[in-house]
């Protein structure tokens, strides 16, 4: 019997260590995913579910609540993702300055909202923007308002507050990734650019941004994925109201499954749509980020 080569033994050992994680991934992720797809082709409840093909998928485009939640989710994505990425880069560049004092404290303060639970964050923002909350008190003192404004009771302002809450909570999280990327950039590149007469802005555009490209791609994919699955903010801050104006798609899927008359087939079909959106956007991002000059 021939002995295994060193390379084959190392490969075998690697697969042995990977096998438990791969098994759990298949059982806990891929099997439920396949089950959800087959359930999306059925209607009804429990043992009385009937095979109806793609009728649930056709129903989505006739459902005004689904269309409204899709529009709301896309609005959150289009507004919050670029703002979080841009602010994260700016804050990371500012707090990466070796001459800045107390930068550890600043980094901690900016990152701290990410460590606060979403329920606590919602309570904070509900208190701030209540009709007798801090924001209304300040506006009344300044004479801008005559009576307290119900920020969370109007669709436009409620959406803005929800997006501000998301940005406030997650921008520090993105900043940490960009800080890690900046610290991997060799200082000699900036020194050489300075000798060549480049200013800070030119160094930022010509050195910092190109070298941060992999990190920007990674954080963008994460932010897009997160924006498409907004749930906690919608549930805890506004409850999806007024009406369906602030309800995100994930919140609507939950309500369709457990709050309204249960319809697991339709809920699974909407969940498959989220999966498709995430897969398509991730594919596009990876293709765009893989361009080689």
pLDDT digits (tens, 9 = 90+) for 71-97: 999 999 999 999 999 999 999 988 888
Band the pLDDT of 291: cuts 50, 70, 90.
low
- What percent of the chain clears pLDDT 70, i.e. is strictly above it? 96
Say if pTM beats, i.e. exceeds, 0.85: no
pLDDT of 29 strictly over 70: yes
Mean pLDDT of 18-46: 85
Band the pLDDT of 167: cuts 50, 70, 90.
very high
Band the pLDDT of 292: cuts 50, 70, 90.
very low
Band the pLDDT of 175: cuts 50, 70, 90.
very high
Give helix 31-39 / helix 264-289 axis angle, nearest 10°: 120
Residue 273 pairs in a beta bridge with: none
Mean pLDDT of 110-130: 88
- The domains located in the chain, with CATH, are 64-289 (1.10.3720.10)
pLDDT of 188 strictly over 90: no
pLDDT value at position 258?
86
Phi, psi of 148 (to 5 degrees): -60, 135
Mean pLDDT of 124-133: 89
Mean pLDDT of 157-179: 91
pLDDT value at position 80?
92
Mean pLDDT of 130-137: 88
């Amino acid at each position: 019997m021939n002995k295994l080569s060193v390379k084959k033994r190392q490969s075998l050992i690697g697969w042995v260590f990977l096998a438990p994680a791969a098994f759990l991934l298949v059982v806990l992720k891929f099997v439920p995913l396949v089950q959800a797809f087959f359930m999306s082709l059925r209607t009804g409840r429990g043992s009385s579910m009937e095979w109806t093909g793609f009728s649930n998928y056709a129903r989505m485009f006739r459902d005004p609540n689904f269309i409204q939640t899709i529009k709301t989710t896309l609005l959150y994505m289009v507004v919050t993702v670029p703002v979080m990425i841009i602010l994260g880069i700016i804050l990371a560049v500012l707090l990466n300055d070796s001459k800045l004092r107390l930068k550890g404290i600043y980094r901690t303060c900016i990152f701290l909202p990410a460590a606060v639970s979403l329920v606590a964050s919602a309570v904070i923002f509900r208190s701030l923007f209540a009709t007798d909350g801090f924001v209304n008190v300040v506006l009344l003192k300044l004479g801008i308002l005559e009576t307290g404004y119900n920020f969370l009771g109007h669709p436009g302002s409620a959406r803005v507050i929800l997006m501000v809450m998301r940005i406030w909570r997650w921008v520090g999280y993105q900043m940490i990734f960009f800080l890690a990327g900046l610290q991997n950039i060799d200082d000699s590149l900036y020194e050489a650019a300075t000798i060549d007469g480049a200013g800070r802005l030119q160094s930022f555009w010509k050195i910092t941004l190109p070298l941060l490209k992999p990190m920007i791609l990674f954080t963008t994919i994460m932010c897009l994925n997160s924006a498409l699955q907004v749930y906690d903010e919608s549930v805890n801050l506004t409850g999806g109201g007024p009406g369906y104006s602030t309800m995100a798609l994930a919140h609507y899927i939950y309500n369709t499954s457990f709050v309204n008359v249960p319809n697991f087939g339709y809920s699974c079909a909407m969940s498959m749509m989220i999966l498709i959106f995430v897969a398509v956007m991730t594919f596009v991002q990876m293709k765009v980020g893989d361009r080689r000059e």
